[in-house]
Amino acid sequence: MWPSYETASSIYDKANIALLLGLVIGVIATVLIVWMGNVKEEYLKLNVGTANAIAEKARVDAANANIQAADANERTANIEKHNLELQTTLERERSARLKLEAQIAPRSLATAQREALDKALSSAPKPLTVKLILLGDQEAGMYGEQILSIL
């Protein structure tokens, strides 16, 4: 069944109006798409320029950091070399100090020396008389007392 002439005419008019509105909306949307696309492209160019500037600054900072690291490594190597020289000097001085301490160490009788002295004195005639004279030399006095303790 067909609609009446008036209904068909009314639907036709409304469809034409809808089509025109759709075309107008399409044209407006196309204009907005082109316009906003250009705006976005300009912002993109600005952002790319900023990103490139930041990247270049980062490259310069990295180069400076590499130079500083190389300087620090060189200073570390110099300090290690100096430290090795100081350790060598310290070892020489320690060795010299130990020799001096051995030279000025108080005398004392070792166990083997005590036994040998005791054995040698056991055959000596008795009574054995020993005089211990202390003239302010404390080290000699202590050594003498060690010998006397064997008698």
In the chain, where the domains are located: 1-105, 106-151
Instruction: Give the C-alpha separation, 88 to 97, whole Å.
Output: 14
- 96 — pLDDT class (breaks 50, 70, 90): very high
Give the DSSP H/E element, type plus range, for residue 67: helix 5-104
* Long-range pairs of 116-121 with CB within 8 A, sequence gap ≥ 24: 117/147, 117/150, 118/150, 121/150, 121/151
Q: Token pair of 73, please? A: 């490594």
How much is the average pLDDT of 92-121?
84
pLDDT at position 7 is: 95
How much is the average pLDDT of 17-31?
97
pTM of the model: 0.44
